[in-house]
Structure 1
């Protein structure tokens, strides 16, 4: 009787399952909801939102400045004149309109 040395079926099954699990977890670490690609997307989106926040803050500062200049405590007559002429659609006699 001769015996051949071949691996047991259980050992082969164990390594196949371990290999499949390692492939799954590697794929999840790269492509999953919390993977490397998603992290890169979140970082890029974060940078876009930071730039948008800076733009919004600049707009708010500009509007606060205009509001302060039109308030009762501090009245900018040039700004008031500009806004009134813009709303009423009128010009002064010494101005030239270019379209």
Structure 2
């Protein structure tokens, strides 16, 4: 019976653990610092909250504008609303009026 006798290398024992450590280190780093990692998720959440607040502000502004348009275009023009918009657009008022801008 033929057998091969060879020396066992000491480095041979460390190859598989080194590959495993490298593999886990690579994916561990990218799970925290990568494009879709934990830090990026926190950034996305902050952006979502900021944009949600901005959306609610814009929605309120739009509702106010829709009410004003409804007053101007419902068939019977509101004289006060029309007068207010004309004076504001032209930046004019009468001598006996006090104008308060808000």
TM-score by length of 2: 0.77
Distance 1:96 1:56 in 2: 30
Counterpart of 2:43 (choices 33, 36, 41) is 41
TM-score by length of 1: 0.79
Task: Provide structure 1 residue ranges, at least 5 long, that are not aligned to the other structure.
Answer: 1-5
Using a 3 Å threshold, how does the CA distance of structure 1 residues 75 and 7 change in structure 2: closer, same or farther? Answer: farther
Distance 1:22 1:10 in 2: 20
Q: Report SS of the residue matched to 1:94.
A: coil
Counterpart of 2:82 (choices 63, 80, 83) is 80
- The aligned length equals 93
Deviating runs (4+, > 6 A) in structure 1? none
Task: Provide structure 2 residue ranges, at least 5 long, that are not aligned to the other structure.
Answer: 1-7
